[in-house]
Structure 1
Amino acid sequence: MNLELRQLRYFVAVAEELHFGKAADRLHMTQPPLSQAIQALEEMLGTALFLRNRRSVSMTPAGEAMLPEARRMLAQAAELPGLVMRAAGGEEGRLSLAFVSSADYSVLPPFLRSYRAAYPQVQIVLQEATSDVQVDELLRERVDAGLIIPPLPDKALPLLDYLKVLDEPLILAAPAGLDALRGDAPVWLKNVPRLPLIIFPRPIAPALHDAILGVFAAAGITPQIGQEAIQMQTIVSLVSAGMGLALVPQSVRNLMRPGVEYRALHDPTPLVETGLAWRRDNSSPVLQGFLDLLRKNI
């Protein structure tokens, strides 16, 4: 069955006018071809849509059932060019965005607010994942972009582009009530009790892992690693449970947990970088719109 939009327009016109002559005038055609077209439509569907006599035209139950669906299909067809143009301009479609947990407390919320305001018709699909997982997802074309902690691994350099969006220092997250944390002033790491270090496994962000241990080494401390956790939320929760202390990006202090205190450090600390990675060959207009807006806001 090859049902055409033209046939649907003819059917709707006759159904709304209930008069073949008036429907033909409305369609800017003569009555005989219209009558022939409706008859051909009925033959194709295998049932009558209209009851005709010399005085009137009325709809059969089949015609009444078809009318709302025909109107819906015509309305969708009318919207199709606009949908295509919006999709071509990045104004409609789907954006899959992965992010490291620390981005949830820094750049991600304002970026999403700005993007949703500018592109309200785009469906945003979010996925929290570590940087190493995101790189694999990008290489397999399963996400459009990811907020990661660099650097990119060598295998990704030929295929991925990268844009830095944030630099922030490391700060101390420690169990509340320690004498060394009285007041709000920055602290020296050497003055903090030797509690176990809670940190993430090195493979998920080697550079950040080494930077954290480097801060301890510069302070003359060899930390005992007590627990490993993948997500910042889990690391902070373990600190709140008194399991140890952690060095976390500054924005994580927005994650408030009872029993946790955050302090800046007097010790020199490297800046933790967060950036956006995406496939260089991804020509999606939706992604390009996201990148353009991101560049304006950093």
Structure 2
Amino acid sequence: MELRHLRYLVAVAEELHFGRAAIRLNISQPPLSQQIRQLEEELGVRLFQRTKREVRLTEAGRRIVSEAHQVLSQVDHFAKVAARASEGEIGHLSVGAPGGVNEILVETLRTFADRYPGVHIELQYMSTGMQIESLREGRIRVGFVTLPIHDTTLTLEPIKKEPLWVALPKGHALARHKRVPVAALADQRFILFPRRVTPGLHDSITAMCRNAGFNLHVVHEVDNIVASLTLVRAGLGLAFCAPSIRYLWKDIVFRPLQQSAPPIEYAVAYKRGGQSPVLDAFLGVVRQVAQKKT
């Protein structure tokens, strides 16, 4: 028995006329009659009472037609689910993101949820270093990371670039500068993220300081920007950050650096060869939002 047999059965049952059912199915009548007879033989019951004047369903036929309707309805549902899944409209996506505020991430999640309500997003907060490891191992499918990253197993799409600024406690002597000279940071105590959090940016910052003639004096290591700026606010040191964070911390002074400093560059990352319809749809929204924000 095949699905076409059920469709033939339903058509004849609804038309109660083999000729009209054949026209509806776009086949000739003799093959339709033959298929119905084969179905009756396979089931071992008579589905229709046939006379020269009419065609009527038997009791067994009525039962089988009712079941056939349910099967065909379920098949149609499966087809619709498969079509939606192939377009990325339903499914699950695990997303990695750093702590703190990321306007592209926020706008992407909002827009994606509006367009694809059938997709469940699992958001996991983790550092860039943890995201790289999680992408390799398949624990997340896409991540919002800080560049540079040197990993040939990942595809990296830059989405935003910001200058490197320094965060100072209110009343700090360096706050009088409109732009802080990098060399002036030589004797300062710093709160910095561990290298494992964002290895590339960590290396760029320490190289900048060495080029200015000093090694960065790190007194505290924290793994997220909120903890870092909390310590700055408490007067325990200075921190490097992106300027976009400054609007949320009114009692901290934020200043750009005088000399050229490595930018903070953000990217969306995903594993090479690991794309899916849901991921493609998500990346499409990321690109659209990133383009609008630049």
Q: Distance in 1 between matches of 2:183 and 2:256?
A: 13
> Cα distance, 1:77 vs. partner?
6.8
CA shift digits 1:93-119 (9 cap, x unpaired): 1111101235x3342112222322322
Q: Distance in 2 between matches of 1:209 and 1:130?
A: 13
Q: Does 1:196 align with 2:189?
A: yes
- Give the SS at the match of 1:202: coil
Match of 2:208 among 210, 215, 229: 215
Partner of 2:167: 173
Partner of 1:16: none
**TM-score normalised by L of structure 2:** 0.69
> Cα distance, 1:138 vs. partner?
1.0
Within 5 Å, give how 1:102-141 maps onto structure 2: 104-141=101-138
Q: Distance in 1 between matches of 2:95 and 2:261?
A: 29
Q: Distance in 2 between matches of 1:239 and 1:82?
A: 54
CA shift digits 1:162-191 (9 cap, x unpaired): 1111111100111112243148x3333445
Q: Does 1:100 align with 2:98?
A: yes
Q: Distance in 1 between matches of 2:81 and 2:56?
A: 30
Q: 1:292 to 1:179 in 2, by over 3 A?
A: same
Within 5 Å, give how 1:230-269 maps onto structure 2: 230-254=223-247, 256-257=248-249, 259-269=251-261
Q: 1:110 to 1:227 in 2, by over 3 A?
A: same
CA shift digits 1:212-249 (9 cap, x unpaired): 22333344443321000111111111111111001112
Q: Distance in 1 between matches of 2:245 and 2:184?
A: 22
Matched positions, count? 237
- Give the SS at the match of 2:147: coil
Q: Distance in 2 between matches of 1:211 and 1:251?
A: 20
Indicate conservation of the 8 Å contact 1:101/1:231, yes or no.
yes
Partner of 1:90: 88
> Cα distance, 1:36 vs. partner?
6.1
Q: 1:219 to 1:106 in 2, by over 3 A?
A: farther
Unaligned runs of 5+ in 1: 1-5, 7-23, 42-70
**TM-score normalised by L of structure 1:** 0.68
Computed over aligned residues only, the root mean square deviation of the Cα atoms, in angstroms, reads 3.2
Indicate conservation of the 8 Å contact 2:148/2:201, yes or no.
no
Q: Does 1:144 align with 2:144?
A: no
Percent identity reads: 28
Unaligned runs of 5+ in 2: 1-5, 7-47, 49-54
Q: Distance in 2 between matches of 1:37 and 1:108?
A: 53
> Cα distance, 1:151 vs. partner?
3.3
> Cα distance, 1:281 vs. partner?
1.9
Indicate conservation of the 8 Å contact 1:241/1:259, yes or no.
no
Q: Distance in 1 between matches of 2:262 and 2:63?
A: 80
